[in-house]
């Protein structure tokens, strides 16, 4: 079997990550089948999980104890028989699509993101007493608009404003990904915000993986990270 040597050493890969995070820019992903892509994915995934388990989680455990903050109860909300597929398969796929699927800036990807945001708004409005007929009509319209836009906008590239604002867009997306996980806790407070630093760290690394290698790669890394977190949670309980 021929060993692929067309990849930089791990130190160079990590330096590349640091340089990109200092100045995020849109990249054309190589794809997971490119020479060295799997090795790069392995190095970055190990870095992400190591940072989560050996650095951030112990520090945040101390923070929780210091301020008597509640522990996350995300896993406790799920029945055991559905916990593994949801945490390891469904959540990584959906979260990567929602938070990083559009990072290439392609117009049709942004269209899907806008439609998904519209659906989320309608679902929330429905819980707040919106007319069910209007909510249903809007929901149906968006479901039809999503594939139509994906097809008709397929030849559109990335708009200039997206490239110009990419650093802010990237960091806001990573922050949104982290803040979403405040739902893992029974209550919200400013003092509890550091508890989602693990998700912020993961969002930054996953964003680079998505840009450098591709969306499938970020899904795989996300799944492995969730697997490690779930294993630790089960062992701790």
Q: What average pLDDT does the structure give for the chain?
A: 90
> What is the pTM (predicted TM-score) of this model?
0.90
> For residues 220 and 197, what is the distance between their CA atoms, to the nearest angstrom?
21
203 against 231, higher pLDDT: 203
Domain boundaries, the chain: 22-101+165-236, 106-157
pLDDT tens-digit readout, 14-46: 999 999 999 999 999 999 999 999 999 999 999
Half-sphere exposure of 32 (CA within 13 A, CB side): 12
- Output the pLDDT for position 183: 85
pLDDT tens-digit readout, 103-137: 999 999 999 999 999 999 999 898 888 899 998 99
pLDDT tens-digit readout, 147-186: 999 999 999 999 999 999 999 999 999 999 999 998 888 8
């Amino acid at each position: 079997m021929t060993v692929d040597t067309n990849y930089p050493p791990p130190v160079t890969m990590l330096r590349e990550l640091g340089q990109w995070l200092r100045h995020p820019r849109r990249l054309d992903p190589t794809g997971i089948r490119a020479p060295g892509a799997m090795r790069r994915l392995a190095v970055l995934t190990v870095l992400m999980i190591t940072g989560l388990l050996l650095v951030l989680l112990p520090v945040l455990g101390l923070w929780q104890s210091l301020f008597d903050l509640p522990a996350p109860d995300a896993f406790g909300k799920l029945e055991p028989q559905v916990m593994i597929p949801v945490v390891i398969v469904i959540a990584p796929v959906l979260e990567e699509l929602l938070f990083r699927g559009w990072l290439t800036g392609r117009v049709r990807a942004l269209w899907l993101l806008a439609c998904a945001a519209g659906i989320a708004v309608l679902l929330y409005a429905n819980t707040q007493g919106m007319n069910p007929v209007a909510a249903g009509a809007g929901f149906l319209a968006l479901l039809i608009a999503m594939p139509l836009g994906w097809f008709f906008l397929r030849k559109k590239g990335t708009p200039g404003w997206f490239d110009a604002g990419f650093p802010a867009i990237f960091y806001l997306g990573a922050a949104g990904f982290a803040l979403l996980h405040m739902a893992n806790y029974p209550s919200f407070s400013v003092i509890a915000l550091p508890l989602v630093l693990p998700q912020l760290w993961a969002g930054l690394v996953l964003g680079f993986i998505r840009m450098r290698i591709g969306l499938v790669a970020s899904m795989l890394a996300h799944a492995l990270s969730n697997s490690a977190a779930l294993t630790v949670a089960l062992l701790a309980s």
